[in-house]
Amino acid sequence: MIKENLQDIRNRISEACQRSGRDVSEITLIAVSKTFSSDKIREAHHSGIADIGESYVQEMTGKYKDLKNESIRWHFVGPLQRNKVKYIVDFVHLIHSVESLKVCQEIEKRASRIDRDIEVLVEVNTSGEPQKHGISPDEAPKLIDEIGVFDHVHVRGLMTMAPFVDDPNDARPSFKLLRDLQARLLDNGVPEILVQHLSMGMSNDFEVAIEEGATMVRIGSSIFGERLQ
């Protein structure tokens, strides 16, 4: 099942790229495996997925231990508390959900001890919904600037979650807002490498996200099936 689902997603990514004049090599597909077992992750990995996303620290560290021998890139996409940073800092590939300087200070502290560079994205609330994580678009320039002082924490772009809507087109304004913010940062002289990635698009809206410039899509249920919790 996972293999067929992945093929279907790849086809849809490719069609969205064709529609918007983009190359599929610009898009990283991240399989978000929260609530699913390590065996399912292995199955996805053996079907060609290198990038796995998880939302909870404890769950991710457990699965990382189970799958240590696989060459998986682990993406952390959930809310990250400062006291949990230490559990992921030695293996995480990319943290998508940075929303405060305090957490970055902790990442810097832990990363410097093991002399490891950690790449992060700044999560932006583009829907204005209070229950969504992320900083407001207006706060992003300051936070990106502040993270610039660290030797081991490196910003590589922006992440957002669109509102849950029935029609994926209704998610488009959120994605546009993130891309406009990226453009604004570039106009203000922020180096391209700091804002190169836009992590946006999930199972129900990834095609629209790709049309609007996503470089990473985070897809869970369309690969692994419906989550029971």
If one asks whether residue 220 binds ligand PLP (CB under 6 A), the answer comes out as: yes
Which structure tokens are listed for 183?
């453009």
Closest to ligand PLP by CB, 5 or 222: 222
Nearest to 194 by CA among 134, 147, 152, 160: 147
If one asks whether residue 134 binds ligand PLP (CB under 6 A), the answer comes out as: no
**Distance from CA of residue 219 to its chain's centroid?**
10
Residue span binding ligand PLP (CB under 6 A) among the ranges 87-95, 124-132, 187-195, 219-227: 219-227
How would you classify the pairing of strands 51-54 and 216-219?
unpaired
> Which listed residue (5, 33, 55, 61) binds ligand PLP by CB under 6 A?
55
> Which listed residue (37, 78, 175, 184) binds ligand PLP by CB under 6 A?
78
> Which listed residue (34, 154, 172, 184) binds ligand PLP by CB under 6 A?
34
- Nearest distance from C-beta of residue 223 to ligand PLP, angstroms: 8
| Cα distances (angstroms) measured from residue 107 to each of 72, 118, 144, 186, 207 | 21, 8, 15, 25, 33
Which structure tokens are listed for 79?
């809310």
Identify the burial level of 105 via C-beta atoms within 10 angstroms of its C-beta, where 0-12 means exposed, 13-18 middle and 19 or more buried. middle
> Which listed residue (32, 57, 181, 195) binds ligand PLP by CB under 6 A?
32
> Which listed residue (6, 27, 214, 219) binds ligand PLP by CB under 6 A?
219
- Nearest distance from C-beta of residue 30 to ligand PLP, angstroms: 8
- Eight-class DSSP state of 191: -
Phi-psi region for residue 118, left (φ > 0), alpha (ψ -120 to 50) or beta?
Answer: beta
If one asks whether residue 13 binds ligand PLP (CB under 6 A), the answer comes out as: no
- Nearest distance from C-beta of residue 149 to ligand PLP, angstroms: 27
Q: How far apart are the first and last CA of the chain?
A: 20
Task: Write the interaction track for ligand PLP spanning residues 168-207; mark x where CB under 6 A is met and - where it is not.
Answer: ----------------------------------xx----
Using CB under 6 A as the criterion, which residues of the chain lie in contact with ligand PLP when the complex forms? 32, 34, 55, 77-78, 161, 202-203, 218-222
